[in-house]
Structure 1
Amino acid sequence: MRTDVGHLQDLLAASAERHADRTAIVGTDEAMTYAELDGAVNRVAHVLLAHGVTAGARVCVLAEKAPWTIAALIGTLRAGGAYVPVDPAGPATRVARIIGAAEPAVVLVDAPSRPLLDEVLAELPGPGRVGGPTVGSLDDAPGEFTRADLFGASPEAPNVAPADLAHLLFTSGSTGAPKGVMITHDTVLAFVDWAVRHFGTKAGDRISGHPPLHFDLSTFDIYATLAAGAELHLVPGSLGVDPRGTAAFIRDRALTQWFSVPSVLTYLARFDAVAQDDFPALERLLWCGEVLPTPVLAHWMRRLPHVRFTNLYGPTEATIASSFHDVPQVPADETVPVPIGRACDGERLLVLSDGRETPPGEIGELYLGGVGLSPGYWRDQEKTDAAFVTGPDGERIYRTGDLARVDDDGVVHFLGRADSQVKSRGYRIELGEIEAALATVPGIRECAVVGVDTGGFEGTTICCAYSVAEGHVLPATDVRRQVGDLVPKYMVPARWAEMDDLPHNVNGKIDRPALRERFAPAGATTGGR
């Protein structure tokens, strides 16, 4: 099927007309039909318009994953605005940076997240002050308006073009400040149109909603489900540390599609949570965000021979994913990594060396082009110009910072990072942001953060080495606590080493390869930063 709509919010409206009484979204203790979700979206849009949301205005949504939170995201679009999903588990300092950078007209918050918002607003212009955002509650907690105030049929929203901003997704920044990636309606619609056709998503499918809403993979879950008239089953965050609970969720909800980062699949395999021929309703299993170890994939494919397995690849800047690889059979050689495959419709993958496409088998840097490219970084033309460049044929392309090669059949293989960015637990992390946080800890003399493949389920393990200034005592537990106040939990280093002096190379720079060797398991080799 084709979406044939111009804006993301139109996907819901079209399915609400066709499937009004079908279940659209299922949360922990609440579900909505398509008609109910469409009505909730209208109510949100009306109140946002009444509180000054205009075309292109930002609305920050600081709330846990729930049906009304999804309604808040889509309601923002229906009001002509652009939403900014903010991690409710993030530290106040980082949340304040994101809200400050987005300059929202409104912040929508749920009751569990309200204490965090109150802490954040203490650092920003508050409600009622010039420049301060209006605060609206997604439940019945105090605010300038609450869910009880939301009302109305579909509003007359400001005119927004398909190429206009739909949402801002803030990712880790190398300077210590999160950077906002601009995502437009048409880039998401292009991927959703391809994905619904490629995977055969249909009404009645039961789709997992595993990633947090500030993670771009959730965009696919939400809008592909709505486009097909399927059911979106929101996976509770608490299941992230409960492999048997996660398996039970897939089984009990009779999910037909599961999509997550590979670390979840590795975790379930490690604890042997999936039985032979388990999940009889499951039709397809997708992963994206990091490398899935081939032995783990083989484990899943042997256990679930009835399931179709697909690897998706793509950074936030290229909108969800740019390439795919449908794995045809259980890998014969489990030492060979799974390819990232071929470009999705409308996308382009280029492996370049010195500005020219490499011949088959030669290693180069991976660039992306096509319909999924973001306009760039929010209010940062310098970063945009550095990342989005002109390709050999004069087209606009994105520099991923990944190394890759193309084989004789035109299939692309990922070979690792070329810079300081790593993937851990599915999150893209700039090690420089962690180092910037460490630099604020009193008593730190010198520090470095490296990513090391230690064979853990999380992917790359983040490791920190530091030295202490004279007269200070800084146990790793104290440093970890202070860094945890500045960066999200998934960015806090897992391994620590206090050293008298960090190693340096002949140029006087910190010897990061030596640090990786120090943290690497015995007998392992290391690469990357």
Structure 2
Amino acid sequence: MTRHLQDLLAASADRHADRPALVGADETLTYAELDAAVNRVAHVLLAHGLTPGARVCVLAEKAPWTVAALIGTLRAGGAYVPVDPAGPASRVARIVGAAEPEVVLVDAGSRALLDEVLAELPGPPPVVGAIDDAPAAFTRADLLAAPADAPAAAPADLAHLLFTSGSTGAPKGVMITHDTVLAFVDWALRHFGAKPGDRISGHPPLHFDLSTFDIYATLAAGAELHLVPASLGIDPRGTASFIRDRALTQWFSVPSVLTYLARFDAVAQDDFPALERLLWCGEVLPTPVLAHWMRRLPHVRFTNLYGPTEATIASSYFDVPEVPADETLPVPIGRACDGEELHVLDEAMAPVPAGEMGELWIGGAGLSPGYWRDPEKTAAAFRADPVAGERLYRTGDLARADVDGVVHFLGRADSQIKSRGYRIELGEIEAALATVAGIRECAVVGVDTGGFEGTTICCAYSVAEGHELPPTELRSAVAELVPRYMVPARWAELDDLPHNVNGKIDRPALRERFTPAGAATGGR
């Protein structure tokens, strides 16, 4: 029997009707209430003409009824497109225009943005529905008046589109199917052991693929998903209080959140007694930060997850067995999740020997069908293994597999630069910087400044409370950790490093800061 993501909710609603499913800032839905809300959304979408496989854009803040709108789209036989309500109108317009939705669901806080977006789009506008009381073709009142039973609708293979940044500046839509998400959720439930009554964080924004794991693994387990307010993203002590007050059993976020909490010393010794597991994904977590967390929370299990959106949530994992003895060594990305495959290949797509660096390719159950209506980009990123013929995704990451088969991330292929004749991996410099006392957050970028050295190594950093760390002092500290040719030539001490909408360090913005036009804003 074919399974679909909305079936996970239906099964848990049968078993755990009165248990909390979604806990928002001021609203909680039980499993029975969430299942009914999903059905009501589906009925109203169908009544307004949603056709099988059609897209529904959801432009709304993270809240219980927003999650119900996503799953209700699936139950109506459509595919949802979560859109960042904090995004600039021009980017939102490109995403909505590319998705060509039949319906856009919006909340009151995003209605003005949607009006601006729709004014930019050609052709007939989509139906606009509101998940609250914003002016629209239908509102929360209409949803609450709709039937609460499941409608008869054939589910589509495509579950949702997630738009990520493209190298050309235009967002590219990654197609995510039901079976790719289910493959990861099934593995994660077995590996992490989530169960009814668990209280799981919902930290990432809904347009970020990590939220897919939060939603569907939680619902499959019959657990509680506690939606973390976006306002806590820049409030480390508030975030720590949220974990503590909600007695969360699982926390999952990008590493920058963990770095902020550590640098602001927001986590006490033996804090968060209910917490059982802490997971991160999306970028490298500095090993000193991990060691800080592991020493503070010896009762917690720590897992590094790795994987691009194109391979659905995550493709590999590494359970950290103990506090790292050497904090200068990065944490491995580990082994492939069940049904996934990691291949370290050379330029001819042939396997490299253990211990040697190559480019990381991913195969297996999590692979996306490709990019939405872009066969050229799809063909460039997804290729057939020349020997086995298996479809693989080219990550653009550099890696090596050790003799035990554990894979180690070595940085981006495009972050390896050549300066003064040397080939340099910028991630190695960042790892060294992260060990310097007083550093709160740092990033190293390569910038072509037209000098003789080819590419100039530039470092931006922020300093922890109670510390002073001028560039000259930091330069001296790093010079003791890396060769002279790897010491950054230009420095910028910032109050906070820029981050993109997914919480990752915004490296293009940092490169811009170090260009001649941006030098006056802080480069030294």
Structure 1 distance, partners of 2:442, 2:255, is 8
Matched, 1:83 2:80: yes
CA deviation map 1:471-501 (0-9, x unaligned): xxxxxxxxxxxxx9x999975724624638x
What is the aligned-residue RMSD (CA, Å)?
A: 2.7
Question: How many aligned residue pairs are there?
Answer: 453
Instruction: Give 1:390's aligned residue.
Output: 384
Change (3 A) 1:247 1:199: same
Match of 1:48 among 39, 45, 50: 45
1:230 alignment counterpart? 223
Residue 54 of structure 1 contacts residue 158 of structure 1 at CA under 8 Å; is this kept in 2?
Answer: no
Q: Could you say which residue in structure 1 is the equivalent of 2:406? A: 411
Q: Please name the residue that 1:64 is paired with.
A: 61
Partners of 1:52 and 1:457 lie apart in 2 by 52
SS at structure 2 position matched to 1:290: coil
Matches of 2:211 and 2:188 in 1, distance apart?
14
Q: Which digits, 9 at most, give the CA deviation of each residue in 1:485-522, with x for residues without a partner?
A: x999975724624638x9xxxxxxxxxxxx9xxx999x
| Contact 2:37–2:148 under 8 Å retained in 1 | no
Higher RCO, 1 vs 2 (CA within 8 Å, ≥6 residues apart): 1
Superposition deviation, residue 369 in structure 1 = 0.2
TM-score by length of 1: 0.81
Residues 367 and 100 (structure 1 numbering): CA distance in 2 closer, same or farther, change over 3 Å?
A: same
Q: Does 1:366 align with 2:360?
A: yes
8 Å contact kept, 1:243–1:267: yes
Match of 1:147 in 2: 140
Write the letter of the residue equivalent to 1:366: L
**Retained in 2: the 8 A contact 1:59–1:83?**
yes
2:304 pairs with 1:289 = no
Report the counterpart of residue 210 of structure 1 in structure 2: 203
Matched letter for residue 162 of structure 2: L
Could you tell me which runs of 5 or more consecutive residues in structure 1 were left unpaired when the two chains were aligned.
423-449, 468-483, 503-514, 522-529
Task: Give the letter for the 2:52 counterpart.
Answer: A
TM-score, structure 2 normalization: 0.82
309, 312, 324: which is aligned to 1:316?
A: 309
Q: CA deviation at 1:355?
A: 1.6
Is the CA contact 2:42–2:151 (under 8 Å) kept in the aligned structure 1? no
* Structure 2 counterpart of 1:135: 128
Counting only pairs closer than 5 Å after superposition, residues 65-464 of structure 1 correspond to structure 2 as 65-125=62-122, 131-150=124-143, 151-160=146-155, 164-353=157-346, 354-391=348-385, 392-419=387-414, 453=430, 460=443
Query: In the TM superposition, what whole-angstrom CA distance separates every residue of 1:76-116 from its partner, at most 9, and x where no partner exists?
Result: 00000000000000000000000000000000000011111
Contact 1:322 1:344 in 2 (8 A): yes
Matched residues, percent identical? 77
- State the one-letter code of the partner of 2:328: T
> 1:153 Cα shift?
2.7
Provide the rounded CA distance (Å) in 1 between the counterparts of 2:246 and 2:218: 15
Distance 1:496-1:465 versus aligned 2 partners, 3 A rule: farther
Q: Whole-Å Cα distance in 2 between the matches of residues 395 and 497 of structure 1?
A: 42
- For 2:124 and 2:208, how far apart are their aligned partners in 1? 28
- How far apart are the structure 2 equivalents of 1:52 and 1:387? 35
Q: Give, in whole Å, the separation in 1 of the partners of 2:328 and 2:115.
A: 50
Aligned residue for 1:21?
18
Cα-to-partner distance string for 1:217-248 (whole Å, 9 max, x where unaligned): 00000000000000000000010111000000
Unpaired stretches in structure 2, ≥5 consecutive residues? 418-425, 451-497
1:143 & 1:465 partners in 2: Cα distance? 49
State the one-letter code of the partner of 1:389.
R
Give the 3 Å change call, closer, same or farther, for CA 157–172 of structure 1 in structure 2.
farther
CA contact (8 A) 1:57 1:82 kept: yes
